[in-house]
Amino acid sequence: MSFSITEPTPRAKWISGTLVITYALITLIPLVWIFMTGFKTPPDSISYPPKVFYEPSLEGYVNLFTTRTRVSPEALDALPPPANFAEEIVRNRNMVIAGPSKFGERFMNSVIIGFGSTFLSIFLGTLAAYAFSRFKIPLADDLLFFILSTRMMPPIAVAIPIFLMYRNLGLSDTHLGMILLYTAVNISLAVWLLKGFIDEIPREYEEAALIDGYTRFQAFYKVVLPQAATGIASTAIFCLIFAWNEYAFAVLLTSGTAQTAPPFIPTIIGVGGLDWPAVAAGATIFLLPVMIFTILLRKHLLRGITFGAVRK
Amino acid sequence: MTQTLPDRAAQATPPKVARKIKGLSDRAIAWIFVGPTIFLLLAINIFPLIWTINLSFTNFKANRTNRAVEYIGTRNYERILTDSDIWLSMQATAHFLIWTIVFQVLIGFTLAWLINKKFRGNDLWTTIIVLPMMLSPAVVGNFWTFLYQPQIGLFNYVITFFTGGDPSGFQMLGSVDLAPWSIVIVDTWMWTPFVMLICLAGLRSIPDYIYEAAEIDRASKLRQFFTITIPMVLPFLMLAVLFRGIENFKMFDLVVQLTGGGPGSTTELASINLKREAFEKWRTGYSSAFAIILFVTVFGLASIYVKALNKVKER
């Protein structure tokens, strides 16, 4: 190892490491608590003092995916033995499974709207970003700023006319309506980021292809697209995470068919506000994919969350 | 993909037929490529904005569409600027905005500075710290109401474990004094990593030779910190503050789940007030005027701030 006067001393490293790890562990507690609560029984989840050690149970997950009705002990005795573990858990509470809950449906809505809008934002965004990067477009800077500034509006402010517009067009509470809306919000980020990535690809590559007789279009998808693949992928993740997490538009513009998971999960709590394990189970299923993405893609994080303003 | 690019370009040279159709002109392609994006933004961002401006001069109510719409001039604007509820919500927003930024800048910068000491495994721990900000604010905010429960909530338990006292003796979300702070705490927990990441990028952009030169000049570590580190990170820090400022001015999802604006209207931020006016009281014209005022405020403050930021960058 070469000697450097700017290299921190081992002691400085040890102290800073300890402090940062302490902060990281504290910051992780709420997330760990969500995970742990998902595997508690309802009485365990609201016991005092809060239980750190407990017997894990799948009751939260069973409650998340089912609706249940209470039956009398006599009726319960008359039933045939439980067919699976879910029924057994539910019967211990003097209830029977009445049917599936809406969680699966809401989760699928999140998946459809998330992936649909991400695909559309990336498709349109890549085309626009390429054009902004390579061609002379009149008022390009103003257009780019305009695209970015649409992100500054409070969602509720835009929601009023969109609510009216969607009502007239029959788009309220539809997948298509939400996909278009999220695409419109995401495309500013997508164009801005993707332009940065495409700017970094040397023009010479395409020019060589053009001289070889490619059309512009062929040069675009055979030369530029493969080079921009990493940038496109990390932009896609950001669009997906935004659409996945979005709440304001979802709660105002959807109620049944197209409702996504974020407005739904808080309503799981049920009568009396006692079913925290089911809420936690829903939150765990919903949040875990994002956490995994974050860990896998940590190298590409910075540029996305800073709107491309900070480059490595 | 071991082929080099020129190889691939040579192999994929299209047959002579394709040469005849040289494709569209660059100009046409530019418009075909940009067109759909502009159209979408016009349809879903600009058209609604213009509609909102139009509505703000009317007494329209979205739940009574058959009633005749009257243009009432600037009366909505006058009523908003003299409405004490609106000023209360602006105060709540200011409190939230200022304190979240203060805490996030202090903690975020400190963390970035510590991480930049490049201890072993700093990469992994940075990622762990970043986790909260990637998650859905509504879902996480909803769960925080559980952590904040008096007695059974983990937050109250941990606080009283260290300070003594009764965990059911205080209500973070239910008390007028504590509720404004409870939302600041959760937002700081969620968004400090954002400030941290930008500061870290700033710290990493400082070349080593500047510190080496300072070291040769025998500048003390403290002096180096104030004359090199702080000024060089400042533009980045200001950028982080800009992003957080805009986001928290619009804040809706996290706080609506945590307190719903209560107790009373102590945590009723501008967006929450707007939602209540627009979608519960259905005063569409009135709330459109409020939306425009908010938008102009964010835009105005942001552009003044960007000017200041550019000045700092030039130095």
**Residue A149 confidence (pLDDT) above 80:** no
Q: Which residue of B has its CA nearest to A303?
A: B198
**Residue A285 confidence (pLDDT) above 60:** yes
Q: What is the pLDDT of residue A192?
A: 83
Cβ–Cβ of A28/B131 closer than 8 Å? yes
Q: What's the predicted TM-score (pTM) here?
A: 0.87
Is B152 a domain residue? yes
Cβ pairs bridging A and B (under 8 Å): 320
Is B165 a domain residue? yes
Q: How many CB atoms lie within 10 A of CB A219?
A: 21
- Minimal CA–CA distance to A60: which of A27, A80, A86? A86
- Chain B positions in Cβ-Cβ contact with residue A263 (cut-off 8 Å): 138
Helix (H, G, I), strand (E, B) or coil at A69: strand
Q: What is the pLDDT of residues B83-132, one digit of tens each?
A: 888 899 999 999 999 999 999 999 999 999 999 988 888 888 988 999 99
Give the whole-angstrom CA distance, residue A217 versus residue A195: 17
Q: What does DSSP assign to residue B153? A: -
Give the whole-angstrom CA distance, residue A82 versus residue A306: 53
Cβ–Cβ of A305/B194 closer than 8 Å? yes
- The b-or-e profile of B176-199 (16+ CB within 10 A means b, else e) is eebbbebbbbbbbbbbbbbbbbbb
- Greatest Cα pair distance, chain A, in angstroms, is 85
Cβ–Cβ of B37/A127 closer than 8 Å? yes
Is B58 a domain residue? no
ipTM for the predicted complex comes to 0.87
Is B119 a domain residue? yes
Cβ–Cβ of A247/B270 closer than 8 Å? no
Is B272 a domain residue? yes
Which of A15, A34, A36, A156 has the most B C-beta neighbours within 10 Å, making it the best mutation to test the interface with B?
Answer: A156
Q: What is the pLDDT of residue A260?
A: 92
Is B27 a domain residue? no
Q: Report the topology of domain A104-305.
A: MetI-like fold (1.10.3720)
Q: What is the pLDDT of residues A30-86, one digit of tens each?
A: 999 999 999 998 888 888 888 888 888 898 898 889 888 888 888 888 888 888 888
The minimum CA-CA distance between B220 and chain A, rounded to whole Å, is 13
The minimum CA-CA distance between B40 and chain A, rounded to whole Å, is 6
Q: What is the pLDDT of residue A29?
A: 94
Q: What is the pLDDT of residue B179?
A: 92
Cβ–Cβ of A128/B34 closer than 8 Å? yes
* Helix/strand/coil percentages in chain B, nearest 5: 70, 0, 25
Q: Which residue has the higher pLDDT, B52 or A306?
A: B52
Residue type, A200: E
- Chain B positions in Cβ-Cβ contact with residue A214 (cut-off 8 Å): 12-14
Q: What is the pLDDT of residue A182?
A: 93
Cβ–Cβ of A31/B131 closer than 8 Å? yes
- Chain A positions in Cβ-Cβ contact with residue B114 (cut-off 8 Å): 16-17, 19-20
- Whether residue A49 is preceded by a cis peptide bond, meaning omega within 30 degrees of 0, is yes
Range of the domain at B224: 80-314
- Minimal CA–CA distance to B250: which of A243, A246, A227? A246
Q: What is the pLDDT of residue A1?
A: 43
Q: What is the pLDDT of residue A99?
A: 83
CATH number of domain containing B91: 1.10.3720.10
Q: Which residue of A has its CA nearest to B40?
A: A184
Give the whole-angstrom CA distance, residue B133 versus residue A241: 11
Q: What is the pLDDT of residues A216-253, one digit of tens each?
A: 888 888 888 888 888 898 889 889 998 999 999 999 88
Is B103 a domain residue? yes
Q: Average pLDDT across each block of 10 residues of chain B; the chain has 315 residues. List them in order.
A: 53 47 72 89 86 89 79 87 89 94 96 90 88 92 91 88 83 89 95 92 88 89 90 90 89 91 87 89 89 88 86 78
Q: What is the mean pLDDT of chain A?
A: 86
State the average pLDDT over residues A301-305. 69
Q: What is the pLDDT of residue A306?
A: 66
Q: How many CB atoms lie within 10 A of CB A105?
A: 14
Q: What is the pLDDT of residue B19?
A: 43
Q: What's the domain count of chain B? A: 1
Q: What is the pLDDT of residue B20?
A: 40
Is B46 a domain residue? no
